[in-house]
Chains A and B, each alone.
Chain A
């Protein structure tokens, strides 16, 4: 990384803040809109789950804890990976060519020059609220070791989702349009991730563990803290390796990106 990369990322952050929060009321309302949109779906799920005592041994607060991890990790992830989430649009509008014409790393520019702060605030605040509501009621004693584990798992979860976006962005170079794939692999995968994966069919469990490994974003880290009976269905080591899965996935996605970017073609005019 260049010596002034930090300076440039600070310039980008300042610019993004100025652009997103130039109109404060508008910014608050838009963040609130994201928060309410996501919260509404959680409220619906909450009232549905109230009809059940538990789902495969998981009570309502334990499931809210699962959801909290999904939202917190997304809230952090989207600060860094908005440029990859919106990569298709950036290519179509010629914005990616603008990055190519600058003497800087393409991924660096995509990551630091874009951040969807409304999504970050909306998802992040909901994740924190769900954590606050559930953390005291799931019987976890928050020792320093568990807090550290939790932080590392969050970092791992951020990297896993960032890697999925990076992989899909690289795929965009060949396919030009990957919104449908993003819908299937990321957004649908995320919907499943709110529940303990043990309630699903084996095929979905496999997908959630090895294909789009959302299980490592929230289910297995939660198992470390909660030790539910259904963990017996999976190797115990899965509870500890979320950060490793994140790093490995991100490196693989990065390699795929490096190879793919050589095939990127600008239009003639």
Chain B
């Protein structure tokens, strides 16, 4: 479905991957890691500086008009609507551009507008909508169409919990229909519910590409140990920890329990100082990625 061979563009360096048909891929990375650039390359909005990309086995720039018939795309920095028109006007425009049959269009509009909660604002001028309403309608534009590839760049920005849940439902439905879906986010939690594969970008490099299970196996269990000290700060420099935060008498240690056991951590701390309290917690996948790859919580 999507093939990248040694792709370089702007910050992206040597991206090499193959996304099979029907896969839901989460593209994760901090701001500026290259997520939007990657998705723009796939959709044919940018051409690679070096290397090659194939979307539907075609050059997405050279065969733009051919492949775009089967792609629904939403970028955070590209306006979807004309602010002077109503949402319905833009939907009608889309219906004509993509040749959607009237019955199918009416049925999908009803369903998607209902689930995403923008039914009441269909005839409102886009200029008068709040960010959240606009975002829901923008997502709706993508889901009303039947496409083979869906690309969402930071789709959860501006969405409340209900809208996020509706988005996940619609993604799952499209996934069941066999569509390939790419979703970028700076937050793994946003996409961990739907993505089965993950591309982890760090400073333009693909530091991980594989199934979510593999990533979980690699990063989890990431443990968090919070210690309230009653003495000097202990020296644990020889322990293989991922991150150490010291704030006055509070100490937080993040470690992968595949490499360091909790028992070892407790023994080292207690041997070096007095402890008022100890608290252990297992980190989630998103938190683990942040700690192990971006060095922050």
List chain A positions with a Cβ less than 8 A from chain B: 4, 7-8, 11-12, 15, 18-20, 22, 93-95, 97-98, 100-105, 113, 265-269
Is A101 touching B45 in the complex (CB atoms < 8 A)?
yes
Complex: A104 Cα to B96 Cα, angstroms: 11
Is A98 touching B65 in the complex (CB atoms < 8 A)?
no
Interface of A is mostly: loop
Is A97 touching B45 in the complex (CB atoms < 8 A)?
yes
Is A18 touching B43 in the complex (CB atoms < 8 A)?
no
Complex: A20 Cα to B85 Cα, angstroms: 9
Complex: A102 Cα to B78 Cα, angstroms: 12
Is B82 touching A19 in the complex (CB atoms < 8 A)?
yes
Is A94 touching B79 in the complex (CB atoms < 8 A)?
yes
Is A266 touching B93 in the complex (CB atoms < 8 A)?
no
How many chain B residues touch A (Cβ–Cβ < 8 Å)? 38
Is A8 touching B46 in the complex (CB atoms < 8 A)?
no
Complex: A113 Cα to B36 Cα, angstroms: 26
A104: nearest chain-B partner, CB-CB: B97
User: Min CB distance, B257 to chain A, in Å?
Assistant: 36
Is B79 touching A268 in the complex (CB atoms < 8 A)?
no
Residues of B within 8 A of A15 (CB): 82, 85, 89, 92-93
A-B contacts, 15 of them at CB < 8 A, read: A15-B85, A15-B93, A19-B82, A19-B89, A94-B77, A97-B45, A98-B80, A100-B44, A101-B73, A104-B65, A105-B65, A266-B46, A268-B40, A269-B36, A269-B77
Is B40 touching A7 in the complex (CB atoms < 8 A)?
no
Residues of B within 8 A of A101 (CB): 43, 45, 68, 71, 73, 75, 78
A5: nearest chain-B partner, CB-CB: B96
Residues of A within 8 A of B89 (CB): 15, 18-19
Is A268 touching B78 in the complex (CB atoms < 8 A)?
no
User: Min CB distance, B52 to chain A, in Å?
Assistant: 17
A93: nearest chain-B partner, CB-CB: B79
User: Min CB distance, A243 to chain B, in Å?
Assistant: 31
Residues of A within 8 A of B69 (CB): 103
Residues of B within 8 A of A265 (CB): 46
Complex: A19 Cα to B83 Cα, angstroms: 9
Residues of A within 8 A of B68 (CB): 101-103
Does B84 sit within 8 A of A, measured CB to CB? yes
Complex: A15 Cα to B126 Cα, angstroms: 13
Complex: A18 Cα to B43 Cα, angstroms: 31
User: Min CB distance, A161 to chain B, in Å?
Assistant: 25
Residues of A within 8 A of B9 (CB): 268
Does B20 sit within 8 A of A, measured CB to CB? no
